[in-house]
Every structure is written in C-alpha cells, then in structure tokens.
Chains A and B, each alone.
Chain A
Amino acid sequence: MSSIEFRKDLFADERSDNLNEIGKPTIRQDILGHVTGRTPFYDDHLFDGLLHMRCVRSPHHHARIRSIDFSAAGRMPGVVRIVEVKDVPHNLNTLLSLLNFGRDDEPLIAPQKVAYIGEPVLAIIAETERQARDAVAAVRVSWEVLPHVLDVEEALKPNAPSVNDIYPNNTFDYGPYDHQKLRFGDVERAFQQADHIVEGEYQMSPIEQAPMETCGAIAAPETNDRYVCHTSTQALFFSLSTTAKLMNMASSRLHFIGGTVGGGFGGKVDSIVEPMAVLGAVLTGRPVKFMWDREEEMQVGAPRGAERWRIKDGLTRDGRIIARSFTGFFDAGAYIRLSSYAVQKGTGHLPGPYSIPNVAANVFMVFTNRTPATAMRGFGITGVDFAIECHMDKGAEAVGMNPIDFHILNAYRDGDMKAHRRAAKNAALIECCQVTAGKAGWRIAPDHAQASSLIGGGAGERATIPETVTDQIGRIGERRRENLPTAPYAGSTARGRVAAGAAKQAVVAAPPQHEDMAVDLARFGFSKPQARATRQPHSAVPPASPSSPRPQQPAPPAPQSSSPVPPPAPPQTPASAPRAPQAAEQGQGYRPEEPFQQGIKRPGVSRFISGTRRR
C-alpha cells in the first residue's frame, strides 16, 4: 500500500488537506470474512430442498425455433418443472427501461428466434444439478438456421440479416438518426486548412470480465408472500426492479440480498439471472438456484462489446489539432443491454481531453449476432481512449514532436469549451504529463514544463461554441434501403448551420416508451422548473414508440447527453400537458382493507418503480 505517491502540491489551494480517512490506507471491512472463508457470496447459503435450474441454449448464432420437444426431459428422474416462454409473465425487457431509455427488446426466454449462441429457449428445474443437465441434454429443438452477421459494418449493409426484431435496422435509434451525431464547428473546412492529415483505424476485441465467481442467484419463497433472492449482482436495485418487471410483480414482494460480489467488473449488472431464479421459485414454491458454470460465464455472459474507431485529425505544422473526426461502431451483440448508453458515454467523451475547435463524430450502436455486450471497466470510454491515445502518438510523429509535448500543447485547460458544449473544469492532463515526463526522464519544451491547466483556457475562441455545420444523413431506416457511408457528413452535400453560441437545449434522444415511465422530478424533491420554450424539434420521423405521446419534460438528470440537433424543422407540440400529481389521498389515515401505496398516489404510475403492492 505504500507504493502510492501523493502529489498534494498540485492544486493544493483547491482543497483542505485535513481529511482523516480519505487518502489514507484503511483495512477493508470485509477482509476478515475473506480470509476466514466466511464472506457470504450468493451461493454460500444453504437451503433445504434446493432445486437447480439450467437452460437449453441455442447452438446457433441466429435461428428460428420451429419446435421444442421436452417430453422425454419432463419424464426424467428428478425433474420438477419445465419452464417455457408462456411461464414468463412479462417476457420482454431492456435493462435501461428502468431509466427511460430504449425499447424493451430482449426476452428472458426466447419465444420465436435466437440471435446469439447460448440464448436460452427453455429452462429445466430438477432436484440436482446433474439431473438438470441430463434433462437439458434430452430436449430436442428443431431449428431453422438463419444467416447471421458478426461484423458491425457488415450489419449496416442493406442486405444484412436483421438481428433484433425490435430494432430491425440493426442500429439503435438516436433521435431521428441511426447513430449518435456530435457536431462542433466545421471539420470539413478545417481539414482543408490543415497542414497534415492523420488517419487511423482502431479495433478492440470484446473483453470478458471473467470474475472468479460466476453469475447466479438463489431465490426462495419467504414469509409474507415475498421472495428472497441472494444474488451476485453489482446493481441490486437494477436486479430487483428488472425482476419485478419481468415477473409482473410488485417490487415490494421481492427481498433482494446482495452485497458481496465475487468480482464484477461490470459483468454482473445485466440482471438476467435473478428473474430466472425468482421465476423458478414462484413456479415450484421451493428454493431454486440458477448459476452459470464457467463455460456459460465465458460464452453466454456479456463481455464489453468490441469497438471499431476511425479517427481523422487535421494538424497545423506547429502541432495543434484543429479538427478531429470520428466514426465509431459499438458492437452491441444481439440485444441493447448497456450499449445504447455506452455510445452516449463515449460520444460525450469525444474528442478526448483536448481543446480542438472542430469536432465531428458519427457513433453507431450496431446489433450483430454476437453475445450481447455490457459494461466492463469504464465501458464506453476505455475503448475510444485506446483509439484516441494511439492516434495522438501518430499525430506527434506526423509533426515531428515529442508526444508529451504534443499532449500538453493540445490539452484543454479550465474554461475551454468541449465539443458537447460544456466548459472544461478541474482539468489536470497537463500536470499528469509533466509528472510523467519527470518520472520517465523525458525532456519537454520549457514552456510546457511551466504550463498549467489553470492558465490559458477559457478565453477567446477557446471558450466559445463555434458556428456548427450539420448534416441530416443516416436517418432511421435509410441505411437498410441503400448503402450509405458512415463517416460524418459523408453521403450528401446538404449542410445546415447552427449559430455560434447555441447550446443548452436538452434533447431526449429516445423518448420513453410508456407514459408511466416518464420521470416526475417532483417525486424526488426537485422543484418544478418554469415552463420551457418548445424543445428543439425533431423532424417528422417515426417516433420510437408507437403509443407514447411526448410529455414535456425538464432535462432528465442522466444519462442523456445534449448533443446538437439538426437544423430547424416544423415545431412539434407535445401531445400532452405536463403531468401534475393527483389530488392526494394522503392524510386520510390507515385503511387496512385498501391496497397500500407509498408516496404520491398517481393512477397508472409504473408499479415497478416502488411502493405499490398489487394482488
């Protein structure tokens, strides 16, 4: 622990150094349990009559299910229950529907087709694990194998197989487009003015979290009509709420116990094992364990998705990056999971911690027949940072500059305007570079050795939002009809312009799919903002959800990034007035014969947010 060097001299006046715990080593509160073997991981709970649940899984990348014959399996010794599609109360979900983002696209048990190797089509519950495995092996599935696609750019071609029935274009919807756009300034003009153009393409593989503990959950009926669930999840409330939704059950009937994760690294957030275990407990009335073995952990468990990035820089001969353009592809695999959000995280991060006056990005979330991707260690950022930093070295080489000098020259300082229209603050790249140069014994230019993140930023052009050139290429569905290029602006000469200084227009990239999922900030104690002017409009493009009106919303807290939008189109009035809390029935006293409800009572409020019990 004593191998950390604190550089408290840096930014010393920004903090008081009187903390008693932060910055000092402290013993983990759970390490005694770790060294005595008593830390209770989810599987470290013994239940009488524990049943074991295993899935019948697709051996194909992409196939239609013609029929499933489990008659032999059902007669095998120890088999207690076969779990089919019809046993799942609500068989379509996406994890981030909990945050209002994306349409439900993934079944717990695949009903009609499978879109990745390992996707479950049936589950079997038996007295022992071996009996469950034997029964799974006895199930006969008749498959109609379909063509599959495993490459992100192949998936964008017009004749590519359609992977995901809910997003049939093989892309996630970002506003009216099939990709996330970022536009800042005018990269095309800047490239023409640049002395050097540096291009590169970078490819990352999927990364498997490979925790020592495999994913799983044990669920059991508890008293007072609840179910207890011991889970390996990193995201207890995600798992509880997702389970409540898939089970069509009030969340107050679920008692989730987590707390000790045998290594997560992002691989234990998807919450697809808890609903299985709870479903098993509900159907059998007994404790049920659903645990991935190591092969499932590696093959079926979601990795961080592969990414492909193309970066094009325009440099002046003195080493300044005056333009940077990105084309990025996130391989989401067969279902959204967290990739929709990964793209926004990544886009918000562009062009990296550098002050670049012209930036453009087209970032695609692409469905392929690979294992669905999820989080792993900084997902959304770490991949593109690998690309950016490799590219920085190329740029330094092109202008004949020491890479550390190149970094310091282009680093943003406090107050500089970032491409997604926020001012940089608490920047520290320059100081990191200086310390690194010192440690490595690399000489850097004297003025760079004296530079500071606090000096030189936030003034003049560095601090302003430039006039920004926009395009409208790549609307949802266009790419299925014709081959379109993917790079920013490529494919059409039509351009729009957003005035310099235009910012602070929150745009909901994907509208909520159900009314009752609309976030009502008043419930959380936010005061209601004043009525806003009509939002920057979208043009008339098929809305994400057929049934939902567009309630007017104040800017949601996270994770939407406010990317610039295309040029004006006819304004679109929201279809419904803002939702106001119903006249409350609070203060009427406890009425035991009525269903219990917490918080503000609103008819139609989603029951899986919290607090409502239904019978």
Chain B
Amino acid sequence: MAKKPVRFTHNGRETAIFAESGSNLLDVLRRVVGDLSPKYGCGQGTCGTCIVLIDGEPHLSCLTLAETVEGRKVDTTGGLQNGPDLHPLQKAFMEGFSAQCGYCTPGMLMAAKALLDRNPRPTREEVVEAISGNLCRCTGYDPIVDAILDAAGQTSGRVA
C-alpha cells in the first residue's frame, strides 16, 4: 500500500506522518496523528463536524486529501486552549449551554474561531453565515450563535 510522507504543523507542533495514498485528512488526524477532536458525521462535506483550520481558513477535513496539507498549518479543537486556559469561545460555549451531545462542537468552534480571527466584532448575521456549514441536531443553534457573540465581547441582542 503506497504511503506518502506528509509534513505539517499540527496545533503548533511540527508533525511528520505517512498517509495512505488517497486518504483524507480527517482519518489521518484521528488515526495516525491521534487527534480525535475533529469528528466524522457524513464523509460528504455537508455536516461540518470535521472542520479544521488550514492556514487559518476552515476546511472540511473529510474531503481534504491528506497529502495536500504538506507544509501547511493545521489547527483543530484539540489545540484551541492555551495551556490550561480555555479559549474565550470554549468558555462562552460552556457558560452558554451551547452544547448538548457535543458532537458538532469541535466543528462549530473551528468555524467560529476562523470568523473571530478575521472579524473580531461580527454581526449576528455574520455569525450565522460563519456556521452555516455546521449542522447541530441538539441545541437549535441559538445558544451557539449567542456564545460566539459573547466570546466576541458583545451582547447577543436577545432579550434575557
């Protein structure tokens, strides 16, 4: 079975692995690197649970050919916190009851991080647009949108 060497930065750490030819980044991250934070929800790019950041931009890792991340920077939820300190998005999700089963959460956090890194004061519409590629079957989305706005340091605009 042909394997290709792939070198990339994973959550800030230089990583080198062998990826099976034709394998996708999600499988490589989970099975080879051992980062279980991105999830499999559909394998077709419609659910967003596999979203990771490649060079700061959100990508669907289940549709990303693993070898194409050669030399690039890959960031996942597993690397979101800073040592023992949670990222503001993580804190906001916890306080905002923005997760129930938790399966969509890693993908949501990466989509949200990509937004806030580029646009620190988004409108509600911009937040909705940013997570428009992420499905959630538990929360009804509003707690997630509110948490992202809270993390951005704004009021959510909802009546308490």
B2 lies within 8 A of chain A by Cβ: no
Chain B 57-99 against A: per-residue CB contact (8 Å), 1 yes, 0 no? 0000000000000000000111011000010011001110101
A38 lies within 8 A of chain B by Cβ: yes
**Min CB–CB distance B28 → chain A (angstroms):** 13
* Chain B neighbourhood of A46, CB < 8 A: 31, 34, 36
* Chain B neighbourhood of A36, CB < 8 A: 37, 77-78, 80-81, 86, 90
**B41 touching A35 by the CB < 8 A rule?**
no
Name B's A-contacting residues (CB within 8 A): 20, 22, 30-31, 34, 36-44, 46-47, 49, 76-78, 80-81, 86, 89-90, 93-95, 97, 99-106, 109, 135-138, 158-160
- Known contacts being A31-B102, A262-B103, is A213 close to B93, with CB within 8 Å? no
Which of A22-30, A306-314, A316-324, A504-512 binds B? A22-30
* Chain B neighbourhood of A130, CB < 8 A: 22
The contact of A35 among B42, B47, B99, by CB within 8 Å, is B99
Distance of A128 Cα from B109 Cα, bound (Å): 30
- Known contacts being A41-B39, A294-B44, is A210 close to B137, with CB within 8 Å? yes
- Known contacts being A27-B94, A211-B137, A212-B41, is A37 close to B77, with CB within 8 Å? yes
**Min CB–CB distance B138 → chain A (angstroms):** 6
A293 lies within 8 A of chain B by Cβ: yes
The contact of B101 among A25, A27, A43, A262, by CB within 8 Å, is A262
Distance of A31 Cα from B47 Cα, bound (Å): 21
Distance of A41 Cα from B38 Cα, bound (Å): 11
* Chain A neighbourhood of B31, CB < 8 A: 46
**A212 touching B135 by the CB < 8 A rule?**
yes
Distance of A222 Cα from B89 Cα, bound (Å): 39
* Chain A neighbourhood of B37, CB < 8 A: 36-38
Distance of A293 Cα from B20 Cα, bound (Å): 20
Distance of A28 Cα from B44 Cα, bound (Å): 31
The contact of B136 among A212, A265, A291, A294, by CB within 8 Å, is A212
A485 lies within 8 A of chain B by Cβ: no
Look across to chain A and name the residue whose beta carbon is closest to the beta carbon of B159. Answer: A3
* Chain A neighbourhood of B160, CB < 8 A: 2-3
Distance of A46 Cα from B33 Cα, bound (Å): 11
Known: A34-B99, A36-B37. 19 other contacts (CB 8 A): A3-B158, A28-B97, A33-B102, A36-B77, A36-B78, A36-B86, A37-B76, A41-B39, A43-B30, A128-B20, A210-B137, A212-B39, A212-B41, A213-B101, A262-B103, A265-B137, A293-B42, A294-B42, A294-B44
* Chain A neighbourhood of B36, CB < 8 A: 37-38, 40, 43-44, 46
* Chain B neighbourhood of A209, CB < 8 A: 137
Look across to chain A and name the residue whose beta carbon is closest to the beta carbon of B91. Answer: A35
A214 lies within 8 A of chain B by Cβ: yes
A32 lies within 8 A of chain B by Cβ: yes
A403 lies within 8 A of chain B by Cβ: no
* Chain A neighbourhood of B38, CB < 8 A: 37
**Min CB–CB distance B13 → chain A (angstroms):** 16
The 10 closest A-B pairs by CB, nearest first: A37-B37, A34-B102, A262-B103, A37-B77, A294-B42, A35-B90, A212-B103, A34-B99, A44-B36, A37-B106
Look across to chain A and name the residue whose beta carbon is closest to the beta carbon of B27. Answer: A129
- Known contacts being A35-B99, A36-B81, A213-B39, is A263 close to B137, with CB within 8 Å? yes
Distance of A410 Cα from B2 Cα, bound (Å): 72
**B101 touching A35 by the CB < 8 A rule?**
no
* Chain B neighbourhood of A38, CB < 8 A: 36-37, 78
Look across to chain A and name the residue whose beta carbon is closest to the beta carbon of B35. Answer: A37
**Interface size band for A:** 35 or more
Residue of A209, A210, A294 with most partner-chain B CB within 10 A: A294
* Chain A neighbourhood of B89, CB < 8 A: 35
Name A's B-contacting residues (CB within 8 A): 1-3, 25, 27-28, 30-41, 43-44, 46, 128, 130, 209-214, 260-265, 291, 293-294
Distance of A260 Cα from B38 Cα, bound (Å): 16
* Chain A neighbourhood of B47, CB < 8 A: 212, 294
Distance of A336 Cα from B77 Cα, bound (Å): 41
* Chain B neighbourhood of A214, CB < 8 A: 40-41
Look across to chain A and name the residue whose beta carbon is closest to the beta carbon of B49. Answer: A212
* Chain A neighbourhood of B158, CB < 8 A: 3
Look across to chain B and name the residue whose beta carbon is closest to the beta carbon of A44. Answer: B36
**B97 touching A1 by the CB < 8 A rule?**
yes
**A213 touching B41 by the CB < 8 A rule?**
yes
* Chain B neighbourhood of A44, CB < 8 A: 36
**A35 touching B39 by the CB < 8 A rule?**
no
- Known contacts being A34-B99, A37-B78, A263-B101, is A294 close to B106, with CB within 8 Å? no
**Min CB–CB distance A29 → chain B (angstroms):** 11
* Chain B neighbourhood of A262, CB < 8 A: 39, 101-103
* Chain A neighbourhood of B94, CB < 8 A: 27, 31-32, 35
Distance of A183 Cα from B9 Cα, bound (Å): 70
**A30 touching B102 by the CB < 8 A rule?**
yes
Distance of A210 Cα from B104 Cα, bound (Å): 13
* Chain B neighbourhood of A260, CB < 8 A: 101-102
Distance of A612 Cα from B94 Cα, bound (Å): 44
- Known contacts being A36-B80, A37-B37, A44-B36, is A263 close to B86, with CB within 8 Å? no
Look across to chain A and name the residue whose beta carbon is closest to the beta carbon of B103. Answer: A262
* Chain B neighbourhood of A1, CB < 8 A: 97
**B99 touching A31 by the CB < 8 A rule?**
yes
* Chain A neighbourhood of B95, CB < 8 A: 27
Residue of A40, A211, A261 with most partner-chain B CB within 10 A: A211
Distance of A41 Cα from B39 Cα, bound (Å): 9
**A263 touching B138 by the CB < 8 A rule?**
yes
Distance of A130 Cα from B1 Cα, bound (Å): 12
* Chain B neighbourhood of A128, CB < 8 A: 20
Look across to chain B and name the residue whose beta carbon is closest to the beta carbon of A213. Answer: B103
**Min CB–CB distance B104 → chain A (angstroms):** 5
Look across to chain A and name the residue whose beta carbon is closest to the beta carbon of B93. Answer: A35
**Min CB–CB distance A40 → chain B (angstroms):** 8
Distance of A306 Cα from B79 Cα, bound (Å): 44
* Chain B neighbourhood of A264, CB < 8 A: 101
The contact of A28 among B42, B49, B99, by CB within 8 Å, is B99
**Min CB–CB distance A134 → chain B (angstroms):** 12
Distance of A264 Cα from B100 Cα, bound (Å): 11
* Chain B neighbourhood of A212, CB < 8 A: 39, 41, 47, 49, 101, 103-104, 135-137
* Chain A neighbourhood of B44, CB < 8 A: 294
**A293 touching B43 by the CB < 8 A rule?**
yes
Distance of A27 Cα from B91 Cα, bound (Å): 12
Distance of A265 Cα from B160 Cα, bound (Å): 28
Distance of A212 Cα from B46 Cα, bound (Å): 11
Look across to chain A and name the residue whose beta carbon is closest to the beta carbon of B143. Answer: A1
Distance of A211 Cα from B40 Cα, bound (Å): 12
Distance of A36 Cα from B43 Cα, bound (Å): 22
Distance of A46 Cα from B76 Cα, bound (Å): 18
A to B CB contacts below 8 Å, 20 in the list: A3-B160, A27-B97, A28-B97, A31-B97, A36-B37, A36-B81, A37-B105, A38-B36, A40-B36, A43-B30, A43-B40, A44-B36, A46-B34, A128-B20, A212-B103, A214-B40, A262-B102, A262-B103, A263-B103, A264-B101
